[in-house]
Amino acid sequence: MVTCNKNYLTLAISLFIIEVLIALYVHDEIIRPYGGDFLVVILLYCLLKSFIKVKNEIAALIVLIFSYFIEAMQYFNIVEQLGLQNSTLAKTIIGTFFTWTDVIAYTMGTLFIIFVEHIIKRRKERYLFKQTIES
């Protein structure tokens, strides 16, 4: 079902800005290579949840599979195969080489999403339970 969830959209926009700032200004050996990949799955998840009403676990799985697919395309040098090796934008968005650390970062980001969504769900349930008792 198509929808517009302003909370997820706000998070997606915020994460996009953070990702751009990381890409432009962070040139270290931890945040840019690992933090960016960790955050990108959260960004994609929030973007998906912004416009499509889908269960959290399903959305997280879709994003993880998509991330793995992009990483596999890097393994097969898709940027060069498409003739986009001179495109900075294509190289930044798609990436240029496969690494297992990216796969781990995507997986960790997805596990983080599932954990946070579980905590949020439990807090909402406790709040609703308290409201029911007080009524």
Note the pLDDT tens digit of each residue in 76-120: 999 999 999 999 888 888 888 899 999 999 999 999 999 999 999
Band of the pLDDT at 74, cuts 50, 70, 90?
Answer: very high
Mean pLDDT for 18-47 is: 94
Task: Supply the DSSP string of the chain, one letter for each residue.
Answer: -B---HHHHHHHHHHHHHHHHHHHH--SSSIIIIIHHHHHHHHHHHHHHHHB---HHHHHHHHHHHHHHHHHHHHTTHHHHTT-TT-HHHHHHH-SS--HHHHHHHHHHHHHHHHHHHHHHHHHHHHHHHHHHH-
Note the pLDDT tens digit of each residue in 83-94: 999 998 888 888
Q: So what's the pLDDT on residue 92?
A: 81
Which pair of tokens denotes residue 130?
């308290």
Mean pLDDT for 42-68 is: 97
Backbone φ, ψ for residue 3 (5° rounding): -150, 180
Is a pLDDT exceeding 90 seen at residue 26? yes
Mean pLDDT for 36-63 is: 97
Mean pLDDT for 16-25 is: 93
Is a pLDDT exceeding 80 seen at residue 135? no
